[in-house]
Amino acid sequence: MTSVTNRIKSVKQPRGGYIPLKQFSTITLDDGKILNSDESVSPGLVGSAVDYLSRLMNGAQPKEAFKISLNGAYLVGEFDKAISLLDQIVGLDNQSIAAACILVGYDVAFRAGAARFMTVDTIHADETTIENIRIMVQRSLHFFETYGPITLDGFTFGSAYTDTITSGDGDFLTKDTLWDFKVIKSKPNKDYTLQVLIYYLMGIRSNQPEFLSISKLGFFNPRQNIVYQTAIADIPKEVIETVEKNVIGYPD
């Protein structure tokens, strides 16, 4: 299986990328809060915890919000343990956030294979990490109050996968924008901008009606509290055709 992100790693993009970041407008949402500089959990796990907790707090059912984690736990024979962790996640209290950090440790088994899974027993979110995650989820909720509501989340692409890209799942759609959450300390890079374009191009071929009104691509980074957006109409036609054919593998 080749995921969207793994496919992108093997693609040689033109200088600056197929969609340079400078094409995106940026808006900073200032909440007056500063994150703690140190965290006891890896950035990837923090990002997943923020993502899934944001979905939960936006009304998703717990099993739906953490479905990737539960699928991973099933693959390594720890589904009951994962359900026990899920039962502890009820909001943004300390115990919920700490349990979420452990639960997302199962994601790797689903995304990269059971052989890549080690253990979740060493994952411990300290107070500063928990506070950072709480702030970032609150920022995400404010973001959706401003740019939402969500029309589709955690979407996959059904019949739109190809022999070249066989898996991959996106974050969120609102009425007119496909959004990807990036909980990172840097700016989105050319791989990330290509990622959202691929999601859009696969989405419009997946027969999901929510994609029909999408006219923009965007990122939200709750770590920096910055919104990035670009109009799909501003992406050159030849770029779209090249990505469809040479990156995703759609026929002419």
Residues 53 and 177 grouped into a single domain: no
φ, ψ (nearest 5 deg) of residue 183:
-90, 80
Q: For residue 207, which of 168, 252, 157 has the smallest C-alpha distance? A: 157
What confidence score (pLDDT) does residue 1 get?
74
What confidence score (pLDDT) does residue 252 get?
73
What confidence score (pLDDT) does residue 201 get?
98
What confidence score (pLDDT) does residue 92 get?
98
Residues 197 and 213 grouped into a single domain: yes
The answer to whether the CB of 4 falls within 8 A of the CB of 195 is: yes
Residues 95 and 120 grouped into a single domain: yes
What confidence score (pLDDT) does residue 154 get?
87
Q: What is d(CA 221, CA 162) in angstroms, rounded to the nearest whole number? A: 29
Q: What is the pTM of this model?
A: 0.92
What confidence score (pLDDT) does residue 84 get?
98
Residues 46 and 27 grouped into a single domain: no
Full domain range(s) for residue 224: 1-33+146-252
Residues 53 and 6 grouped into a single domain: no
Residues 201 and 117 grouped into a single domain: no
Residues 26 and 67 grouped into a single domain: no
Low-confidence ranges of the chain (pLDDT < 70): none
Residues 197 and 119 grouped into a single domain: no
Flag whether 133 is in a domain.
Answer: no
Report how many domains make up the chain.
Answer: 2
